[in-house]
Structure 1
Amino acid sequence: MDPINTTQITGIWTYLETVDWSDPWFSGLLAFHVVMFGITALTRNNQTLQAVHFIILLMLVYSAESLNELAARYWSVFSKQQYFDSKGLFISLVWSTPLLVNTLIIVMSWILTSSQLMVSAGRLKIEADKRRQAAAQKKEDAKMRKRKAE
């Protein structure tokens, strides 16, 4: 089967329908993305590990152009069809998009964590203010009792 001409593409779904998903290398690619999503999920409570994972994901997205050129040169070694066009549409869809979704999940996780920390800090401040007010009130009450006793 000849590769689809990029001028014939009317939408992402029509383009993806032309892909022969039975190629064995797609299983490896899928496994890779599942592992990346798994690492994203497993590191959600460890900000340092997640930051390292985030940087690695961004580096992998950055390498997409070089990876596309390499895959375009050697596609016949691992694939039945030449998917790797010069504009990078295919590599963007099957490589970069899932990785960027991972980074988006991480950023959303960081925003959620930050907002939870701000709410906790606000509550702690309110509690500290209440304790300070209660202590000041006790002190004032003690002064009043002392004055009445005199």
Structure 2
Amino acid sequence: MEDLKSAMEEHMEQMADLVQKFSAELRSGLRPALDNFLGFFHAIDWKEPWLACLMGFHVVLLLLTILSRKNVNFQMFLFLLALAGVYFAENLNRFLGQNWKSFARQNYFDLSGVFLSTLWSGPLLVIAVIILVNTLLSLCHLIVRWKRAELKYRSRLARNKQD
């Protein structure tokens, strides 16, 4: 019984320490994360042509996603294209890391792939989520239409049986 009591006390002390650490992190706010983001943002030379093309590609893909929101087949093509881009990001990072001198002034492509994940995979995942939400909303709308048609059909059947 004493062992159980001491184990519970140790567990409670660990939980109290975790709560104190978590509350200290919350009190420090988002300042460290903001500092890291600003450091990352300022380390990039945004005037490089290939970065402008990359941003333009993402804008065009986003516009295509928004403009084709009623075309489910094209949306699925864009969805698979975006996910394929994310899937091949590691290979792309390796290839670009080996050939960065031919198109960039500095090597952005580290082994962990933080830069490519942020500027390539991140926007592609956002576009994929937008397509997914649009598809789910379309499915909900279709289910409502189907259910209304079913209810109308049942009411017609009920009226015909009464006559």
For the aligned pair, the TM-score class normalised by the smaller chain equals 0.7 to 0.9
The share of aligned pairs that are identical, in percent, is 35
- Which region of structure 1 is more displaced relative to structure 2, 124-133 or 27-36? 124-133
Kindly provide the CA deviation profile for residues 6-50 of structure 1, in whole angstroms up to 9, marking residues without a partner as x: xxx963343123211111211111111112112212322221122
Alignment coverage as a number of residue pairs: 130
Match of 1:25 among 50, 74, 79: 50
For residues 93 and 115 of structure 1, what CA distance do their matches in structure 2 show?
Answer: 32
Superposed displacement of residue 72, structure 1: 1.1
- List alignment gaps of at least 5 residues for structure 1: 1-8, 140-150
Equivalent residue for 2:63?
Answer: 38
1:80 paired with 2:105, answer yes
Kindly provide the CA deviation profile for residues 27-82 of structure 1, in whole angstroms up to 9, marking residues without a partner as x: 11111111211221232222112212211211111111111111111212211221
**RCO (CA 8 Å, sep 6+): is it higher in 1 or 2?**
1
Equivalent residue for 1:109?
Answer: 134
Match of 2:118 among 82, 93, 101: 93
For residues 12 and 86 of structure 1, what CA distance do their matches in structure 2 show?
Answer: 19
Identify, as 1 or 2, the structure richer in helix: 2
For residues 103 and 32 of structure 1, what CA distance do their matches in structure 2 show?
Answer: 15
Q: Which has the larger Rg? A: 1
Equivalent residue for 1:120?
Answer: 145
For residues 39 and 133 of structure 2, what CA distance do their matches in structure 1 show?
Answer: 30
For residues 52 and 26 of structure 1, what CA distance do their matches in structure 2 show?
Answer: 25
- List alignment gaps of at least 5 residues for structure 2: 1-33
Superposed displacement of residue 97, structure 1: 0.6
